[in-house]
Amino acid sequence: MAEMIRVLELHRNGEMEEKCWSRDQFLAAISENHLPFRDLRMLLRSSPALSKARHPAIMPRPSSQCFILEMENIKLLCFSEKCLIINPEDRATQNFIKGLKEQFKFTKSELSKTTEESTMKVLHQKTVQYQDFEQVILETALENVVQKFRRHLQIIKPALEMLLQQVEANPETNGLRRLLAVKKSLAEFEQNVELVSKVIRNLLSDDEDMTSLSLTNLGEKEDIELLLSSVSADLDEIETEIKIFIDMIEDTDQFISAHLDAVRNEIIKMSLFIEIGGLTMGMGAVVSGIFGMNLTNALETNPYAFSLVCLGLFITMLALFAGFATKYHQLKADTSSAQSFTLLKNFFSYVDDLEDNVFNKDIEKVEFKDTVEKITGLKISDKESEYLFKMVDVNRNRIVGTGRRPSFFCGPNEYSSPMVKLGGSRLSIFHGNYAVIPFGSKVSV
């Protein structure tokens, strides 16, 4: 049995007629418009599994005097006199059809029946009377898509806020899994909005396509451009709200990660003190075990032996525990790595000041440290100063700067110790066991 295609035909006067065609009947109905084969194949792809467009598109076809719109659940073929809506039984498509009925039901005879409550609605419908047929179809379809996106946000916002509060109050694994699921759902929703927004932006950037969307007044694109610009602004607003939701999730995720890291550190610290206590008590147990052996020694008859051993053991155990605790607090308070990172970051951030105060004159090590502290505003240790000094002292002459001619380091050979050639020429190269040439020419080897 041939697959049947359900189509709703909407005429320019607002009349609607639902039809059920076979593929051949559908192709015969639109054969006079000479649509390309790829467009026909896309329109016939109407199975329920593919009812939602994965790749939205608005394709003007000026040679066929129509345009094709496939966006979310809406799939239609619009001409200047009629519009063919495919799969009208779909629930989302029915909302679109309902909006079209609202647009076309207004007549001039109903002007006198309006009230103040319906003034804005009447003004909108009255404006529709002066719009081209294809513009009404396009505007209603895009408005339906935007409203669908807004409803999605309205549904997910309170659920997300409640989930974030629950996760922050009780950061358990189940809550984190739910949060991850919501984040992936938002990412997928953001991708759908971005695809629709990309279609609108591409149309706005192509004047020829916008002109081709006007089927009644050929060559006019002003109204189409205003419509697309308005929809693009709405989609940008929706994308911004989605990004705000994703940022909220990421902030909560970072808070939970920091909280779990702090809890983990406390557990590790507690485990460390338990191990230190166990080690200390173990030493006492060893000594007690030695004295508990059934062997005679000279201390059995000493009246003070028990007290002295216990006191010595207690002092030793206390000293051992105090030593571990002191080392732990020293490690905890050590911020030298962070300070070194800050120092290097700031050191290379003041290139201009370093150029004026360090590299353009000869500076020795002590003056170098004072200059760097003054420029960076940080106190540096002798070790850090030595590291920075060696890093910029490319000549290895213990002097930083370019005020004199370069000095070149000479490695050791079998006849002499390491030497530095001062006041050298342009370039001097020392290799292997060659002796130092005191006053070479431009290139000395």
Are 414 and 433 in contact by the 8 Å Cβ rule? The answer is: yes
Could you report the per-residue pLDDT of 295-341, keeping only the tens digit for each?
677 777 778 888 888 888 889 888 888 888 888 777 766 555 555 66
pLDDT at residue 222, as a whole number: 86
Indicate whether 159 pLDDT > 80. yes
Lowest-pLDDT range, 92-96, 154-158, 290-294, 308-312?
A: 290-294
The top-scoring range by mean pLDDT among 88-97, 130-139, 183-192, 291-300 is: 183-192
Closest by CA position to 388, among listed 423, 339, 334, 424: 339
pLDDT at residue 302, as a whole number: 79
Lowest-pLDDT range, 195-199, 313-317, 335-339, 400-404?
A: 400-404
Lowest-pLDDT range, 51-60, 89-98, 120-129, 191-200?
A: 120-129
Q: What does the alpha-carbon distance between residue 133 and residue 137 come to, in Å, rounded to a whole number? A: 7
Could you report the per-residue pLDDT of 241-296, keeping only the tens digit for each?
999 999 988 888 888 888 888 888 888 888 888 888 888 888 888 888 887 776 67
